[in-house]
Amino acid sequence: MTRTRGETPSQPDVTVRPPETLAFGAPRPSASTDDELEPVRRGLVLADKFVIEAMLGQGGMGAVYRANHRQLGAMVAVKFMRSSLLESKSVRARFWREVQVLARCRHPGVVSILDAGEHQGTPWIAMELLHGESWASRIAYLSMVPSEALEGVAEVFKVLAYVHKQNVIHRDLKPGNVMRLTSGAVKVLDFGLVYEETEEDLRITSPSVVIGTPAYMAPEQCLGRAPVPASDIYSTGIMLYELLTSRLPFEANGPGDMMSRHLYEMVPPLPESVGPGAASIDALLRQLTEKDPLRRPTATEALSLIEEVQAGLDPVALARRNALERARVGGLGREERALRPESSRSPTLRPAAPKGLVAVDVGDPALARSLRGALATAGIGLVMPGEGAAALVLVDVSGLVEDRLATAAHAHPAAGVVLLGVADLTEMAAAVRAGARDAFLVGTSEAEVVSRVRSLLRRRS
Ligand SMILES: Nc1ncnc2c1ncn2[C@@H]1O[C@H](COP(=O)(O)OP(=O)(O)O)[C@@H](O)[C@H]1O
Ligand SMILES: [Mg+2]
């Protein structure tokens, strides 16, 4: 097997953060930014106005540059669509959708658009230049204290209350798409995956295509269902967890595993290291990340909930509450601790390789044979059909996910854990929906697949 670009073999239980937005389903933007150099644009003059200077940042869809507005003598930011995506009609359509939504959504918390156009076939957007740093860079060196995180997230909810009222769903909220300005203000960027309930949008986004960034995707997004405003609330909940801890609530071995966790696992309790107020923020987090979108608060309700938590963080109120908590025999919190999953965050010895795995030949027999060899070499036991397999690996089930799963379930009734090799992330979501606990892209390295099998077996035992 060859390695898919952008994937690196990882040890079990290493957090995988797909670095950028993936609009799953072919064609999709590459997750990698390093190996796709954008053309040198310094000095380029756009629309006789904007002189391009240095690059400011890159995402899954575009490259953003600082530019000088010649006539106004003011600096702006210009985002060009990534050259590798120019061929894709749907990505182009989304780029123009972002332009139109930004033009309509004028709000202090939304980056303002100034102009847009096409330069030699490459669409671009000129925006106000923001001075500050993205939340992603901010938490890379230090997590936020509760007051800062709550204030920031409240600003995001203000934006959401505004855009949701206009039937606009952002669909890609994550720390890389929020900036904290040096003035302290917070701005939501990147409406490149925005969803509007219009016929036009249904055309750009066929219903079964899974879109988003797996680490922040709400369960309904993982299922490929039409996004709802509550999907943004869930993603903001995941961001809140990450702002406070500098880590994602779910550690996963890949996008399929990540989606399965959003679907089936609760966000773990916030660690006590978050500091005073952790319990009340945790209660808020539980509401924001309800599996059922109907049970999540709206953006406006979330704002009131944050205000309540903030009021509780007031030092006097907090001291009083802590005293009350202590008086309650200390039983509280034990249950929460019991719910905390066996965490790989505390160093533990790696258990011996679990036994009882079947690698099922589906698709390319040579791939299956080679993977079986790798599993055996890794000390993972292989058994025959009907011998009580604990887990199944289905190799290359592209286009046949549900069928293959049904046949395999019949042949291996005891196997509860299923890992599939699929063609793209839409198939990955279909696999998870059909009961698989993880899926990997065909082309993923053997070492990576073996490590995921190991991790799945360990979770099951
Ligand atoms: N208006 C802006 N001013 C300054 N930097 C920006 C601006 N817009 C985007 N950036 C930087 O560029 C990065 C990518 O922008 P984004 O709109 O998220 O692109 P993509 O759609 O490719 O994900 C952001 O994380 C941020 O660092
Ligand atoms: Mg982005």
Q: How far apart are CA 27 and CA 24, in angstroms?
A: 8
- pLDDT tens digit string along 116-149? 999 999 999 999 999 999 999 999 988 999 999 9
Q: How far apart are CA 180 and CA 82, in angstroms?
A: 24
Ordered domains of the chain (ranges, CATH): 39-128 (3.30.200.20), 132-266+279-312 (1.10.510.10), 357-460 (3.40.50.280)
Q: What is the 395 CA–ligand 2 centroid distance (Å)? A: 33
Pocket test for ligand 1, best of 33, 138, 189, 194 (most atoms within 8 A of CB): 189
Residues at CB less than 6 angstroms from ligand 1: 21, 56-62, 64, 77, 79, 111, 127-130, 134, 176-177, 189-190, 192
List the beta bridge partners of residue 23: 211
Q: What is the 19 CA–ligand 1 centroid distance (Å)? A: 14
- pLDDT tens digit string along 60-97? 889 999 999 999 999 999 999 998 888 888 889 888 98
Q: Which residue has the higher pLDDT, 419 or 336?
A: 419
Rounded to two decimals, the pTM is 0.69
Average pLDDT on 283-312 reads: 95
Instruction: Give SS3 for 65.
Output: strand
Pocket test for ligand 1, best of 32, 64, 127 (most atoms within 8 A of CB): 64
Tell me the pLDDT band of 444, cut-offs 50, 70 and 90: confident
Q: How far apart are CA 42 and CA 307, in angstroms?
A: 46
User: Taking the CB of residue 215, how many other CB atoms lie within 10 A of it?
Assistant: 25
Least confident of 46-60, 125-139, 208-222, 394-408: 394-408
Q: % helix / strand / coil in the chain, to the nearest 5?
A: 40, 15, 40
How confident is the model at residue 231, as a pLDDT?
A: 96
**Cα angle 139-437-295, degrees, rounded to a multiple of 5:** 65
User: What mean pLDDT, rounded, does the chain reach?
Assistant: 78
How confident is the model at residue 443, as a pLDDT?
A: 75
Closest ligand 1 atom, CA of 58? Answer: 14
How far is CA 24 from each of CA 31, 173, 214, 400, 426, rounded to the nearest angstrom?
A: 11, 16, 10, 18, 6
How confident is the model at residue 46, as a pLDDT?
A: 94
Residues classed as catalytic: 172
Number of C-alpha atoms within 13 angstroms, CB side, residue 148?
15
Residue 149 identity (one-letter amino acid): A
Q: Residue 110 has what DSSP assignment?
A: B
How confident is the model at residue 321, as a pLDDT?
A: 57
Task: Compute the Cα dihedral for 31, 32, 36, 41 and give only its sign.
Answer: positive
